[in-house]
Amino acid sequence: MRSVLLDLKDVTFDYILENKQSLRAVNDLSLQVEEGEYIALIGPNGSGKSTLARLLNALLIPLFGEIQVDGFATRVEEHRWEIRRRVGMVFQNPDNQIVATTVQEDVAFGLENLGVETSEILQRITESLNRVGLSAYAEHAPHLLSGGQKQRLAIAGVIAMRPRCLVLDEPTAMLDPRGRKEVLDTIHSMNRQENITVVHITHFMEEALQADRVIVMHRGEIAAMGKPETIFNGSIDLHLLGLEVPPIPRLAEMLRAEGLTIPKGILDTDDLVSYLCS
């Protein structure tokens, strides 16, 4: 059995609004994520996904309940460095995450803050840029990169710290199709080749199809959870939860209703093509 990396027990979080009222963002939520898992977190705007992401690396601390990362509780202040070393965050807007004037300095930023030695820093920069496919850009100015390249740079900066888990909050929302593909390929290869645990928040249902497990959030709670083929096979009313079934499983379902023999749980274009053409 794989070990549990993220352990959330009865977690509740409230925001305090300007009129002093509180807004519950996460309500009594429990969840365990295993080392090496790829989780897709979906849910409508305001369902608590981003709050949950920020709770995972102790940017926010639960009002009630407890979160442990690799055994370290986020509530304990002395643990927070250990937690942030293990859980790296990537946000939606690439322009807000870049701090330095060259690509390699940007990767070095986090490492310098951790007090890593210079020779080690140089080695990790090379390694990280290699892994996201940006080696050729080490000396470039980050603002001249494309959107997809900037996001991959953000990922490089995070993986240089050798985290066990990547939490990505809509990392592809602002990218063009090529940029999206680049970033998705990078995230998946981190997961498969390096066994890095991934928590990927997205509004693109197609992106959730590739996950080991899909978690559907609604009003701060987990409304549904399971393998993509279960979540998207039409048994859950996703529309009611502000979401939708992606085109391929939706079409498969519709064709089945028309009497065609197509197995349940088809998510992929090529699979559907081969069933239709066999």
Partner 1 sequence: MFIEVKNLTHVYMPGTPFQVNALTDVSLDIERGEFIGVIGETGSGKSTLVQHLNGLLKPTSGEIWIEGNNLWSSKTDLRRLRSRIALLFQYPEHQLFEETVFKDVAFGPRNMGVEGRELEERVRYGLEWVELDYHTYSQRSPFSLSGGEKRRVAMAGILSMYPEAIILDEPTASMDPVSRKHFLARIKRLHQEGKVTVIFVTHNMEDIALLAERLFVFASGRLVLQGQPAEIFQSKETLEAIGLGIPVLTDLMQKICRKGKTIRTDIFSVEDACREIIRSRREGVG
> Which residue, 189, 187, 209, 183, is CA-closest to 199?
187
CA distance 87 to 3: 16
- 115 vs 177, which CB is nearer to partner 1? 177
Minimum CB separation of residue 42 from partner 1 in Å reads 9
Strand-by-strand arrangement of the 197-201 sheet: 87-90, 165-169, 197-201, 38-42, 213-218, 221-226
Q: Which is nearer to partner 1, 43 or 157 (CB)?
A: 43
DSSP secondary structure letter of residue 74: T
* Cβ 13 to partner 1 shortest distance, Å: 16
Specify the residue, 14 or 127, whose C-beta has the smaller distance to partner 1.
14
> Closer CB to partner 1, residue 1 or residue 240?
240
Q: Which residues, in sequence order, are bridge partners of residue 216?
A: 42, 224
To the nearest whole angstrom, how small is the minimum distance from the Cβ of residue 2 to partner 1?
A: 31
Tell me the C-alpha distance between 90 and 22, whole Å: 27
Residue with Cβ nearer partner 1 (99 or 260): 260
Q: Find the shortest distance in angstroms from Cβ 3 to partner 1.
A: 33
Nearer to partner 1, 105 or 253 (CB): 253
Least CB distance to partner 1 at residue 167 (A): 17
Q: Which is nearer to partner 1, 242 or 265 (CB)?
A: 242
Residue entry with tokens 């990078």: 186
Rounded to a whole number of angstroms, the minimum distance from the CB of residue 168 to partner 1 is: 13
39-52 burial, b at 16+ Cβ within 10 Å, e below that, comes to bbbbbeeebbbbbb
Q: Which residues bind partner 1 (CB under 8 A)?
A: 18, 43-46, 92, 146-148, 170, 173-180, 203, 205-206, 239, 242-244, 246-248, 250-251, 254-255, 258, 260, 269-270, 272-273, 276-277
Q: Give burial (CB, 10 Å; 0-12/13-18/19+) of 160.
A: buried
Residue 107 structure tokens: 């990767």
In whole angstroms, how large is the CA radius of gyration of the chain? 20
> In 10 A of CB 67, how many CB atoms?
24
204 contacts 228 by C-beta, under 8 angstroms: no
**What is the smallest separation between the CB atom of 111 and partner 1, expressed in angstroms?**
28
